[in-house]
């Protein structure tokens, strides 16, 4: 068995497996791994838009506050058991908004109530009940700060008690990421710098004076976000939280501080509900349209390119199965716009095959054998396929990062589809032709007529 046949066998097995994995009614009988994630327009649910009041926030802190609010709302939504909620920031025309998509949720009155509350940030003292195994008078022990500046209680066997204090987010002026802070003990990594207002600085100094050597817990919406150890009494209203942060972890923590610290109330301005029946109807129509379009493309390419059109059609079916499987593995939430992007990429996959076949036709006219014509046709068509697909990939990336909502879904589906179509044209179709090219009955193209002669060329 040569390597081309082995490659084809692997591709066929992968395609069959991808088809089973993508066809949910069959796959769910085998495993519950990675069910399809359907968007709001296909599964039904609710679509909420919140205005964010940023007039009391400094311009340079707006993005941090919005990201922090998004993180908090996403965690709140997760408490309702929503499958694949989407929460994202939308900015334009001087207005900042948070968009919440709750697929599969029908009655969301309580969710709306809790989502709309401004996040609450507060600081709490930590106390541990004495361990009966410890000798009398033995001090409690704490480990060194770990990731995200947290302070686990290494020697205590009892649950810590969190005692509320008067220090809340309303006293925090700002939070930001800094590097190589003085209190980091020479650590050049990222740290989180906090600044309190005048009243908050006094409260913070009193709390730190009482808790030297102890952790001080910080809660956002009653969820512990960090628990650093107090090293000394901190006066002046400025402090740093250090630890084994990555830059992303530090930014996330800063966003949470700013979300609960700065006054950024959110107001529900729009709510839409999509019924599950309407979503299912849209899904069936989209699938029907995609299937009809694919069959028409297959019919055309077989009629025009004959036996080689059959190979292109088989490659197209393998491409669809592999692409759908990739959508589930990533996973990509499937929406109507995403299906549109997928259908468009199917057309581009066929376009690549047409470019290859036309190049092969030219090579056959030059007198090359079928084997040589295939290799030369792929080699000469590659530059056109590469350039057109890279252009589409760049456009998809721009659409994804510069837009929002359904346009991003279209861009992401198109991006994945185009990348897979390049694999399909260059690998699958090429392998099929290499394996079966020795068959003398295959015709590469239909007879071409020369208009000037009125006959076949």
**Which tens digits make up the pLDDT trace of 303-362?**
988 888 888 899 999 999 999 999 999 888 888 888 889 888 888 888 888 888 888 888
Per residue in 194-239, pLDDT (tens digit) is: 999 899 999 999 999 999 988 999 998 888 888 888 888 899 889 8
Could you tell me which of 65, 55, 95 has the C-alpha nearest to residue 172? 65
Domain that holds residue 18: 3-38+275-456
pLDDT digits (tens, 9 = 90+) for 47-95: 888 888 888 777 877 887 788 888 878 777 776 666 557 788 888 777 8
Instruction: Clarify whether residues 405 and 319 are in a common domain.
Output: yes
Question: Does the structure show a pLDDT above 70 at 261?
Answer: no
Q: Are residues 76 and 223 in the same domain?
A: no
Look up residue 293 and give its two tokens.
């379009």
Q: What is the mean pLDDT of the chain?
A: 80
Phi/psi of residue 363, nearest 5 degrees: -70, -35
Longest dimension (CA), the chain: 111
pTM: 0.63
The torsion angles phi and psi of 198, rounded to 5 degrees, stand at: -60, -45
Q: Which of 251, 273, 295 is the last residue of a domain?
A: 273
What percent of the chain has a predicted confidence (pLDDT) above 90?
18
- Rounded-to-10 torsion of CA 206, 208, 210, 211: 160
Rounded average pLDDT over 417-433: 88
> Among all chains, which residue has been given the structure tokens 């295959």?
442
**Is it the case that residue 152 has pLDDT exceeding 70?**
no
Q: Nearest-CA neighbor of 360 among 383, 376, 338?
A: 376
CB 297 within 8 A of CB 316: yes
Are 302 and 445 part of one and the same domain? Answer: yes
Residue 383: its H or E element:
helix 370-402
Per-residue model confidence as pLDDT tens digits over 12-28: 999 999 999 999 888 98
Residue 59 has a pLDDT of 80
Q: How large a percentage of the chain has pLDDT more than 70? A: 81
Q: 373 and 402 share a domain?
A: yes
Confidence of residue 181 (pLDDT cuts 50, 70, 90): low
86 shares its domain with 128: no
Q: Check pLDDT > 60 for residue 182.
A: no
The predicted pLDDT at position 130 comes to: 54
The answer to whether 190 and 247 are in contact (CB under 8 A) is yes
Q: What is the DSSP string of 170-210?
A: GGEEEEEEEES-GGGTT--SEEEEEEE-HHHHHHHHHHHHH
Count of all residues that appear for the chain in the document: 457
pLDDT tens-digit profile of 203-214? 999 999 999 988
Query: Is the same domain home to 115 and 185?
Result: no
Which residues, in sequence order, are CB contacts of 178 under 8 Å at separation 6+?
190, 191, 192, 193, 240
Are 57 and 164 part of one and the same domain?
A: no
- How many distinct structural domains can be found in the chain? 3
**What is the CATH number for 370?**
1.20.1640.10
Q: Given this model, what pLDDT does residue 449 score?
A: 47
Residues whose CB falls within 8 Å of the CB of residue 351, separated by 6 or more in sequence, listed in order: 388
């Amino acid at each position: 068995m040569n390597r081309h046949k082995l490659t084809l066998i692997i591709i066929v097995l992968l395609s069959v497996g991808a088809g089973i994995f993508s066809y949910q009614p069959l796959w769910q009988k085998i495993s519950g791994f990675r069910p399809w994630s359907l968007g709001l327009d296909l599964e039904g649910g609710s679509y909420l838009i919140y205005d964010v009041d940023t007039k009391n926030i400094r311009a340079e802190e707006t993005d941090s506050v919005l990201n922090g609010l998004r993180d908090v709302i996403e965690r709140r939504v997760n408490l309702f058991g929503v499958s694949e909620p989407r929460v994202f920031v939308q900015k334009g025309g001087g207005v900042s908004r948070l968009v919440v998509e709750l697929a599969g949720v029908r009655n969301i009155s309580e969710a709306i109530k809790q989502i709309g509350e401004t996040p609450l940030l507060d600081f709490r003292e930590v106390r541990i009940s004495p361990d009966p195994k410890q000798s009398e008078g033995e001090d409690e022990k704490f480990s060194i700060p770990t990731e995200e500046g947290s302070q686990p209680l290494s020697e205590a066997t009892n649950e810590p008690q969190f005692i509320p204090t008067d220090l809340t987010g309303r006293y925090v002026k700002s939070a930001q990421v800094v590097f190589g802070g003085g209190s980091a003990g020479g650590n050049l990594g990222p740290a989180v710098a906090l600044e309190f207002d005048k009243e908050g600085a006094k409260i913070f100094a009193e709390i730190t004076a009482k808790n030297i050597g102890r952790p001080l817990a910080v809660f956002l919406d009653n969820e512990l976000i960090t628990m650093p150890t107090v090293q000394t009494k901190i006066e002046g209203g400025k402090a740093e939280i250090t630890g084994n942060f990555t830059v992303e972890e530090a930014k996330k923590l800063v966003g949470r501080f700013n979300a609960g610290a700065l006054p950024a109330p959110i107001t529900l301005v729009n709510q839409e509900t999509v019924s599950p029946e309407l979503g299912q109807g849209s899904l069936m129509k989209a699938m029907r349209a995609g299937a009809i379009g694919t069959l028409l493309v297959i019919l055309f390419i077989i009629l025009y390119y004959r036996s080689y059109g059959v190979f292109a059609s088989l490659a197209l079916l393998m491409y669809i199965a592999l692409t759908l499987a990739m959508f589930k593995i990533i996973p990509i939430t499937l929406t109507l716009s995403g299906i549109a992007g997928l259908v468009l990429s199917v057309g581009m996959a066929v376009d690549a095959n047409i470019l290859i076949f036309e190049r092969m036709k030219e090579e056959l006219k030059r007198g090359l054998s079928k084997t040589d014509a295939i290799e030369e046709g792929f080699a000469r068509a590659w530059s056109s396929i590469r350039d057109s697909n890279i252009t589409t990939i760049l456009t998809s990336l721009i659409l994804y990062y510069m837009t929002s909502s359904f346009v991003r879904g279209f861009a992401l589906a198109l991006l994945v589809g185009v990348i897979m179509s390049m694999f399909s044209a260059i690998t699958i179709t090429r392998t099929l032709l290499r394996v079966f090219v020795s068959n003398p009955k295959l015709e590469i193209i239909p007879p071409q007529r020369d208009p000037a002669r009125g006959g076949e060329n």
